[in-house]
Amino acid sequence: MNAEGLVAAAWEAEEALLAPAVRSDRPRLESLLAPDFTEIGQSGRLWTREEIVAALVGDTTPLPPAVLTEREVRPVGPDTVLLTYRLELDGAVSRRSSLWRRDGDGVRCLFHQGTPVPS
């Protein structure tokens, strides 16, 4: 996978994490999140991989489509990219950042942060 393939795979995986079918699928989530994954949620809470997987799988609330805008990519190493974007989801707006690393033929997320944008 070249640099362009890494970026494309990271965006595809990022969007997959916003899809209800993926969010309810423990094996798929675990394949997308690195074993040492952490997330700082919009509340400021620090989540581990297991905590976020359990919370997503257990949440049966239907989600409307997510709208991602202001997309940017920053390479941070030969196998790692930082994605940043603005997310509109269910009437809320936040700024998001995710760190993705090449892992075999795919990518895995190492870190994610969501920061609410005041209305």
Mean pLDDT of 12-19: 94
Residue 68 structure tokens: 């991602």
Question: What are the residue boundaries of the structural domains of the chain, listed by start?
Answer: 3-116
pLDDT tens for 24-64 read 999 999 999 999 999 999 899 999 999 999 999 988 888 88
How far apart, in whole angstroms, are the C-alpha atoms of residue 24 and residue 4? Answer: 29
Containing 119, the helix (H) or strand (E) segment is none
67 and 87 in contact (C-beta within 8 Å)? yes
Percent residues over pLDDT 90 in the chain: 76
What's the token pair of residue 12?
């595809």
* Each residue's pLDDT tens digit, 54-111: 999 988 888 888 999 999 999 999 999 999 999 998 889 999 999 999 998 899 999 9
Q: What is the DSSP letter of 45?
A: -
- Check: CATH 3.10.450.50 for 3-116? yes
pLDDT attached to residue 91? 87
Q: What is the pTM of this model?
A: 0.92
Other Cβ atoms closer than 10 A to 50: 12
pLDDT of residue 1: 82
Strands (E) across the chain are located at 33-40, 46-48, 67-77, 80-89, 92-103, 106-116
Task: Check residue 41 and give left, alpha or beta (phi > 0: left; psi -120 to 50: alpha).
Answer: beta
